[in-house]
Amino acid sequence: MAKRDESSELLRELVAHLRQNRTQLREEWVGSISETRLLTAMTKEEIFAEATSVYDSYVEALETETFEALQAYARNLSERIIPRGVETHEVVGIVLLLRDVLARSLFAKYQTDFKKLNRILDAYEPAANRIANTVAVGFVQERERVIRQQQEAIRELSTPVLQVRERLLILPIIGVIDPQRARQLTEQLLRGIRTNRAKVVVIDITGVAAMDVTVANHLVQTVEASRLLGATVIVTGLSPEIAQTLVTIGVDLGKMNTVGDLQGGIEQAERLLGYKVMALAEPN
């Protein structure tokens, strides 16, 4: 208990020193950031503004010996700088630079009293390391969240389920289909069927050059799952290679509703829905 009280007293003395020398230490830190070429995606003014906030949050964490506010600030900071292209090593780097700048100031202050210096450092270093870890973890968590959002957006774009008219959906697929993308495709389609109360779905695979047995099986399962939700699936753009793969795994193509191209598929879908498309009469 006595040791903890002494540590808290030393930290209070340290905090007073950091507040008293705030301007000088902050400027030295900003200079170190520039010299080491960290945060190059940000302007000098932005770096100075963020350095001021980080410095004050750092000192507050030392003073209160709590890290929740610093963790929240780290996440908030990450939201602002991740879109600018700032990397994890840069964030960790600037926090370690601040730790070193502050440590040098302590060496200068207590250079004639090594016993006091050692006690101060014994109290400071564990707190400084925990601060660095808190900031790094906060940044990494936010970065992972951003990456997950970006991946979800890419998945949405790579499997667009389009409603072209009431109860009619189109799913155009382009590029390579691996098992993961096939699962995402199925999830998106079934969600679209349920949300839009679709009765007919046209899956166009004109842009798919090849399909392995696993993915072909998944396509068949997607057609069956759609049927269980009450939607008829029309597959268009079936290449000879993909047709051969489906035959190889035992799919009876006679039981699968296939049409040569997307236009023909849409026309058949409209007939199933009871629409009748008529050409406009040419004006006299």
172 shares a domain with 148: no
Indicate if the pLDDT at residue 272 is higher than 80: yes
Banded model confidence at residue 284, pLDDT cuts 50, 70, 90: low
CA dihedral defined by 119, 120, 126, 128, rounded to 10 degrees? -170
175 shares a domain with 103: no
- Domain span holding position 45: 2-155
Q: What is the CATH number of the domain that holds 56?
A: 1.10.490.70
146 shares a domain with 13: yes
140 shares a domain with 49: yes
Q: Is the model's pTM score more than 0.85?
A: no
264 shares a domain with 242: yes
* pLDDT one-digit tens code per residue, 191-222: 999 999 999 999 998 888 777 888 888 888 88
How far the first Cα of the chain sits from its last, in Å, is: 101
16 shares a domain with 63: yes
Banded model confidence at residue 182, pLDDT cuts 50, 70, 90: confident
Whole-angstrom distance, CA of residue 173 vs CA of residue 175: 7
Short-list 246, 241, 252, 257, CA closest to 215:
246
Please state the domain count of the chain: 2
pLDDT, position 155: 63
151 shares a domain with 12: yes
Indicate if the pLDDT at residue 241 is higher than 70: yes
Whole-angstrom distance, CA of residue 201 vs CA of residue 189: 9
42: Cβ–Cβ under 8 A, 6 or more apart, which residues?
50, 81, 84, 86
Banded model confidence at residue 50, pLDDT cuts 50, 70, 90: confident
185 shares a domain with 139: no
Work out the average pLDDT over 255-282. 82
Domain boundary among 105, 126, 155: 155
Query: For the chain, what is the radius of gyration of the CA atoms?
Result: 31
Mean pLDDT lowest for which of 107-111, 208-212, 235-239?
208-212
* pLDDT one-digit tens code per residue, 115-159: 888 988 888 888 888 888 888 888 888 888 888 877 776 665 566
Indicate if the pLDDT at residue 30 is higher than 90: yes
96 shares a domain with 186: no
Mean pLDDT lowest for which of 4-13, 23-32, 193-202?
4-13
- Asked if 198 contacts 192 with a C-beta cutoff of 8 angstroms, the reply is yes
* H helices present in the chain, as ranges: 2-20, 22-35, 44-64, 68-81, 88-109, 114-158, 179-196, 213-228, 240-248, 262-272
Banded model confidence at residue 281, pLDDT cuts 50, 70, 90: low
174 shares a domain with 129: no
pLDDT, position 200: 95
202 shares a domain with 100: no
> Greater confidence, 73 or 51?
51
175 shares a domain with 142: no
Indicate if the pLDDT at residue 162 is higher than 80: yes
Could you give phi then psi for residue 109, rounded to 5 degrees? -70, -40
Could you give phi then psi for residue 217, rounded to 5 degrees? -60, -40
Q: What is the CATH number of the domain that holds 183?
A: 3.30.750.24
> Greater confidence, 170 or 152?
170
54: Cβ–Cβ under 8 A, 6 or more apart, which residues?
73, 77, 94, 95, 98
